[in-house]
Amino acid sequence: MKTSSAEPPPNTVITIATTFAKPLDESMHTRLQKEMNDLLDDGVLSLQWRSLDAGPVRDSFAHLVVANFIGDCVPSFDDPSRHLAPVLGFTHVSDGRIIPFLEINCDHVAALLGDGHTGATRAQRIEFMSRALAHVLAHELFHVLMESGGHSRFGLAKSHMTRGDLVDGSLVFEKDDLSRLKAKLTGANVVLSAQKSGAQHDCERCDPKKGSER
Ligand SMILES: [Zn+2]
């Protein structure tokens, strides 16, 4: 949804540093990034991606969020053992504040989708999972970037997603939410660095309770 080929202002670039418990194949990776770009890259906001699976990332970023994907992100949809509790993603909280580390539970996303899509082909699974993971990631990213556990009534920032919402290609952020996000992002410019393990935040101090969930 880019409307301009000009370089975005540096403070509207959101860097997503990912780790995957089970490596994604290239097609899934590409699809996930495309889904996220469709949701957030509007010519003002811009996403860039880094992988922490290849080693530490040390650089200067305006807005860096570390996203851990746990479980199997390209699963079969018809494994009954996958019928798990539906906590799809959450942000970490430390000292009462949301910090830029979030987790997406691919097994739980797959369990929710699988109930309605048994027998889906691999291509369909990639399509559904990519969109669903992008929706969960975008939702949690919004919490992190806004430094708030608050929700909106509609759109991707609402508190509860149905199975249909997860794969609904027309579900986007409300215009007001995107405006608030842009205003928030352009107000600060911080330098962070992160790596896959032993990240610079102290995991033992992360509140295991979910900062947000859906
Ligand atoms: Zn939430």
Q: Ligand 1 centroid vs 119 CA: distance in angstroms? A: 30
DSSP three-state, residue 18: strand
Find the largest Cα–Cα distance for the chain.
48
Pairing of strands 46-51, 57-58: unpaired
Q: Ligand 1 centroid vs 6 CA: distance in angstroms? A: 32
> pLDDT 10s digit of each residue in the chain, 214 long?
444 455 656 678 999 999 999 988 888 999 999 999 999 998 889 999 999 998 888 888 889 999 999 988 877 666 555 555 568 898 988 888 998 999 999 988 888 887 667 777 888 888 999 999 999 999 999 999 999 999 999 999 999 888 899 999 999 999 999 999 988 988 744 444 454 543 333 222 223 334 444 4
Q: Ligand 1 centroid vs 29 CA: distance in angstroms? A: 24
Q: What's the rounded Cα separation, in Å, for the pair 62 and 46?
A: 11
CATH class of 10-205: alpha beta
Q: Ligand 1 centroid vs 211 CA: distance in angstroms? A: 8
Q: What's the rounded Cα separation, in Å, for the pair 63 and 2?
A: 19
